[in-house]
Structure 1
Amino acid sequence: MVMPLRKIAEDPCYQALVARRARFTWALSGVMLVVFFGYILVIAFNKELLARPIGDHSTTWGIPVGLGVILVAILLTGIYVRRAKRDFDPAARALVEKYTSE
């Protein structure tokens, strides 16, 4: 059975779902951009800060801060997946069921 894509696209529930998902993804993208560009700006304008050794060791602050950027990306991905499974996927499934059962 072919789904009536035009009907789904015109459905207010679908439009609300798309808007909610877009707001959420833009918010997460904004957080990631701030973290990433903050890290890049520190590298560009204050290399000495990240080049300082941690205590008496040879590892510099740049290593854990860089790993922190990666961990933030992983965390944000997990947050998105959790929200998608909890909110977005069930709403999309409900729309598909609504229009395939007609």
Structure 2
Amino acid sequence: MPAPNQTASALEARIAADPRYVALVRDRQRFSWILTAITVIVYSSFISLIAFDKPSMAQPVGGGTISLAVVLGAAMLVGTVAICAVYVWRANGSYDARLAELLADAGA
């Protein structure tokens, strides 16, 4: 009887070689990189506006005392939470189901 480690390694190798697993990893990585790029662009744009256009960022919004920088900063934080929620929704709805099907077929 093979040792548990050998059995686990054989199962891992079988799953890693499955084209559905390769496609799952590729799809998940692509989606993660897209969300990462969106986040980096938004944060970089915000910092660039602060660095290079201070007068615009200091303008009050709606005639009040809150500046545009505060509004954009809050919107950026809400957007970051939304991006995280989109990833979780996609992972729970698509990636987890595909992985469960793969594991079931592999006998794990």
Same fold (TM over 0.5): yes
Larger-Rg structure:
2
Q: Is 1:23 aligned to 2:33, yes or no?
A: no
Q: Deviations over 1:21-54 (max 9, x none)?
A: 1111111111111111000100111111111112
Give the % identical residues.
29
**1:1-102 alignment runs, 5 A limit:** 2-3=7-8, 4-100=11-107
Aligned residues: 101
Q: CA RMSD of the aligned region, Å?
A: 1.4
Q: How far is 1:55 from its partner?
A: 3.4
| Structure 1: runs of 5 or more not aligned | none
* Distance (Å, rounded) in 2 between the aligned partners of 1:5 and 1:45: 51
TM-score (norm 1): 0.91
- For structure 2, list consecutive stretches of 5 or more residues without a partner in the other structure: none
**Aligned-partner SS, 2:24:** helix
Q: What TM-score results when the alignment is normalised by the length of structure 2?
A: 0.87
